[in-house]
Amino acid sequence: MRVISKQVMNNGIQIHYLDTETDSGLIPLLICPGLSETADEYRSMMNYFYPRRCVVLSFRGRGQSDTPQSGYGLAEHVSDLASVIEATDMNRFHLYAHSRGVSYALGYAIANRSRVYSLILQDYPAMHKQMPEGWAKQYMQQYLVPFSRQRNIRPEAVRGIERDSETVNFNDDLGKRVLVLRGMREDSLLSDQDIEQYRRICPELQVAQFLQSGHDIRHTEEQRLYQIINQYISHQ
């Protein structure tokens, strides 16, 4: 499998993405990473879904993308996603998102309903969360440094997310099929109330539970995760 590394300019900011560029006749899969994740961390997922075309980006301040000093709100992250979609000429695609990437995916999908064939949303509620004062310092000290992830997301981006984020609840009917992937252990970020909110905005909701996982399903039940996603997008 050949994975091509590319860049696209989004209002002067260079956004990095990976693209398998395969043309198998299958609807492509667009991958929307979590808060500190990069495109390169999804190579194994791209390999699993080959020959289906897969595209994954690194949002601003992450991986090989540029790190602006400002512009880390919901709209700016959605624009990163939109710039990659336009650069890849994907008219319709399945959209998979993990963690905070879910809010970016929902922000895009609600504004571009005709292009998103289905949504696969992993362990995050239907909202964009405002980060409290002091979150950035705590996040860097208790997560990025201990787990050696400083190269994945820069301090400017972490501080920018705290500064620019605001609470947005997605209450509109999504008007399409949605698969929610839910970890069932203590560190999951989805509650029963969050699932009910998804049911309100998506009558065709499906929920897959991962009993051996909390929030990070991809590293605890990777093969089952991919199998469930593949089954879901292969029967549409």
Q: What average pLDDT does range 168-189 have in this prediction?
A: 96
Q: What is the pLDDT of residues 89-142, one digit of tens each?
A: 999 999 999 999 999 999 999 999 999 999 999 999 999 999 999 999 999 999
pLDDT at 235: 81
pLDDT at 84: 99
Pair 118, 231: CB distance under 8 Å: no
Residue with tokens 């984020």: 165
Q: What is the pLDDT of residues 13-64, one digit of tens each?
A: 999 999 999 988 999 999 999 999 999 999 999 999 999 999 999 999 999 9
- CA dist 45 and 47 (Å) reads 5
Q: What is the DSSP letter of 39?
A: G
Instruction: pLDDT band for 167, please (50, 70, 90 cuts).
Output: very high
Whether the link from the prior residue into 51 is cis, omega within 30° of 0, is yes
- CA dist 236 and 153 (Å) reads 35
Pair 90, 55: CB distance under 8 Å: yes
Res 206 pLDDT > 80? yes
Q: What percent of the chain lies above the pLDDT cut of 90?
A: 96
What's the number of domains the chain is made of? 1
* CA-wise closest residue to 158 among 186, 198, 129, 131: 131
Residue with tokens 């609807």: 27
Mean pLDDT taken over the chain? 97
Instruction: pLDDT band for 65, please (50, 70, 90 cuts).
Output: very high
* Residues pairing with 32 in the sheet: 97
Residue with tokens 């996982």: 213
Domain residues for the domain of 91 are: 4-234
pLDDT at 23: 81
Q: What average pLDDT does range 145-173 have in this prediction?
A: 96
Other C-beta atoms closer than 10 Å to the C-beta of 55 total 25
- CA dist 152 and 155 (Å) reads 10
Specify the CATH number for the domain of residue 10.
3.40.50.1820
* CA-wise closest residue to 181 among 149, 133, 226: 226
The alpha carbon dihedral of 48, 154, 126, 109 has a sign of negative
Cα 204 → chain centroid: 21
Res 236 pLDDT > 70? no
